Amino acid sequence: MSYYSPSIEKLIEAFERLPSIGHKTAVRLAFHMLDATEEETNEFISAITNAKKNLKYCSQCFNISDTDPCPICAGAKRDHNVICVVEDVRDIIAMERTHEFKGVYHVLHGSISPMNGIGPDDIKIKELLARIQANPEIKEIIVATNPRVEGEATAMYISKIIKTLGVKVTRIAHGIPVGGDLEYTDEVTLTKALEGRHEL
Amino acid sequence: MSYYSPSIEKLIEAFERLPSIGHKTAVRLAFHMLDATEEETNEFISAITNAKKNLKYCSQCFNISDTDPCPICAGAKRDHNVICVVEDVRDIIAMERTHEFKGVYHVLHGSISPMNGIGPDDIKIKELLARIQANPEIKEIIVATNPRVEGEATAMYISKIIKTLGVKVTRIAHGIPVGGDLEYTDEVTLTKALEGRHEL
C-alpha cells in the first residue's frame, strides 16, 4: 500500500526506474523536483528533450554528438589515419582524458557476445571495414575494446579481418594498473603483465 | 575541459544538480536517458510535469496531495479531533507506516530556526491555531517535530500557545530506538530515555 498521492507516487516510480537509484533516493529526488522552481524544472526537462533531439551518431565514427561529423572527426589536428576502436561512446571520453591519443575513433556500440545473441553484424564492424577500405592512407587500427571475454573476442575477430586488408592492427596493453598491488592482482592480469614485459 | 558534446554535457549537469547525485552517477543517468526510447523519456518527463501541475497543498493540513482536502483529511474513518503536528510531508508517510495513528495531520513545512531566519510566522503555526480554534471538539495535539534543536524549539513554542487554548498537547517520546545499542547511544538520548522511563 502506498501512502503518497498518485502524482508523487508516479514521480517516485519514474526516478526509481533510473539505474543506480534506490527507493530512498527516488523519494528524495521526487521531493526535490516538487520543491524546485518552475524555471529549474523546465531547465531539467529541456536538458533531456534537447539532448534527445540534438544528439545524433557521427556518420564516420558513431560517436554521439550534436554535430555530424563529431568534433573529433571534424578536427583538423587529429590524425585521421589512426583509428582507435572502442565499444562505447564513454570509452572515447576515457581515452581523450589521457591527452595522448591524437587519432580518431570508431565506436562499435557493443561487443561480440554469442551468449547474448550479439554477433559481428549487430555492432559497427562492417562500418569500420568500409572506413578502412575507403581510406588507403590508414596506418594503424588500435583495438581498445574492454579486456573482458567479449571485448577480447571482438578484438580477435576484428584483427583477423583487418590483417587480411594489409593494415596494422594493435591491441592496448593489459597489465597491472598504475598504483596497483602485485599481491592483489589476479593471475590472468599478472600473466598478461608478464607476457607484455619490455626491456628497461 | 569537457570532452562531451554540449547537449550531453548539459544533460549530465542537469542530473548533477539533483541532490545525492555525483558526477559518475550523473553520467550514467544521462546515457541511460539517451538510450531510453521516446516513450520512456516522455513517461519520465510527464511524471515530473504532472506532479508539478496536479499537486497542491491540502487547505486543511498542508499535506501535498492531488486532491484538496487530501485523502487523510477527507477520510471518514480518521479521528479529526486528534492532530499530529509534523515538520514535513514525508513525516506523514513515516507516521502512516506505523498503522497506529488514526487521527489527522498538520504539516508545518519547516521548524522555527532563528539561525536560518525562520520565525513562527514563516511556518504553518497560525493555520494550526486557526484549526484548533475552529474545532471545539479537539481532544489532543501530538507534536511530532524532529527531536533536534529546531524541532524541540518549535514543539515548545506550539505547546505553550495551545495550552492557553485549553487543549491537551503531547510530545512523541525520545529514547533508544528499537534494536539500538545502549553502548552506542549518545548521552542526550540516554538521558531522555531515563527521564521517559515507565513502570513495568
Q: Which of residues 135-154 of B touch A (CB under 8 A)?
A: none
Any CB–CB contact under 8 A between A20 and chain B?
yes
Q: Which of residues 164-183 of A touch B (CB under 8 A)?
A: none
Q: Where are the beta strands (DSSP E) in B99-175?
A: 103-107, 140-143, 168-171
Q: Is the pLDDT of residue B4 over 90?
A: no
Between CA B181 and CA B192, with CA B186 as vertex, the angle to 5 degrees is 95
Question: CA–CA separation, B96 vs B144, rounded Å?
Answer: 13
Interface test with B, best of A46, A48, A107 (most B CBs within 10 A): A48
Q: DSSP state, B176?
A: P
Largest Cα–Cα separation, chain B? 68
Q: With pLDDT > 70 as the criterion, what percentage of chain A qualifies?
A: 99
Residues of B in contact with A58 (CB under 8 A): none
Residues of B in contact with A49 (CB under 8 A): 41, 45
**Strands A79-86, A64-65: pairing kind:** unpaired
Confidence of residue B148 (pLDDT cuts 50, 70, 90): confident
Alpha helices, DSSP H, located in A137-186: 149-164
Q: Do A47 and B8 touch (CB under 8 A)?
A: no
Question: CA–CA separation, B6 vs B12, rounded Å?
Answer: 10
Total length of chain A: 200
Write down the domain spans for chain B.
6-54, 76-180+187-193
Interface test with A, best of B1, B5, B90 (most A CBs within 10 A): B5
Residues of A in contact with B94 (CB under 8 A): none
B193 exposed, middle or buried (CB, 10 Å; 0-12, 13-18, 19+)?
A: middle
Q: Do B55 and A34 touch (CB under 8 A)?
A: yes
Confidence of residue B2 (pLDDT cuts 50, 70, 90): low
Q: Measure B59 CA to nearest chain A CA, in Å.
A: 15
- Cell triple for residue A190? 599478472
What is the pLDDT at residue A2? 62
Any CB–CB contact under 8 A between A11 and chain B?
yes
Residue of chain B whose Cα is closest to the Cα of A45: B45
Q: DSSP state, B147?
A: S
CB A27 within 8 A of CB B18: no
What is the pLDDT at residue A137? 93
Q: DSSP state, B100?
A: -
- Lowest-confidence pick of A2-6, A11-15, A78-82, B69-73: A2-6
What is the pLDDT at residue B1? 47
Q: Tell me, what amino acid is at B119?
A: G
Q: Measure B34 CA to nearest chain A CA, in Å.
A: 6
Q: Do B31 and A90 touch (CB under 8 A)?
A: yes
Residues of A in contact with B71 (CB under 8 A): 5
Read off the pLDDT of each residue in B91-100 and give the average, rounded to a whole number. 88
CB A98 within 8 A of CB A105: no
CB B29 within 8 A of CB B20: no
Give the other-Cβ count within 10 Å of A128's Cβ: 21
Question: CA–CA separation, A127 vs A133, rounded Å?
Answer: 10
**Strands B103-107, B79-86: pairing kind:** parallel
Give the pLDDT confidence of A114-153 residue by residue, as tens digits: 999 999 999 999 999 999 999 999 999 999 999 888 999 9
- In CATH terms, the superfamily for domain B6-54 is RecR Domain 1 (1.10.8.420)
- Cell triple for residue A58? 557521427
CATH of A76-180+187-193, one of 2.60.40.1120, 3.40.1360.10, 3.60.21.10, 3.30.360.10: 3.40.1360.10
Contacts of A196 (CB under 8 A, 6+ apart): A173, A174, A175
- Cell triple for residue B69? 482536502
Q: Measure B165 CA to nearest chain A CA, in Å.
A: 32
Question: CA–CA separation, B28 vs B34, rounded Å?
Answer: 10
Q: Do B51 and A10 touch (CB under 8 A)?
A: yes
The cell 487554548 sits on which residue? B165
What is the pLDDT at residue A190? 84
Buried b / exposed e over A83-115, threshold 16 CB at 10 Å, is bbbbbbbbbbbebbeeeebebbbbbbebbbbee
CB B30 within 8 A of CB B12: yes
Question: CA–CA separation, A114 vs A150, rounded Å?
Answer: 9
Q: Do A7 and B66 touch (CB under 8 A)?
A: yes
Any CB–CB contact under 8 A between B51 and chain A?
yes
Read off the pLDDT of each residue in A81-101 and give the average, rounded to a whole number. 91
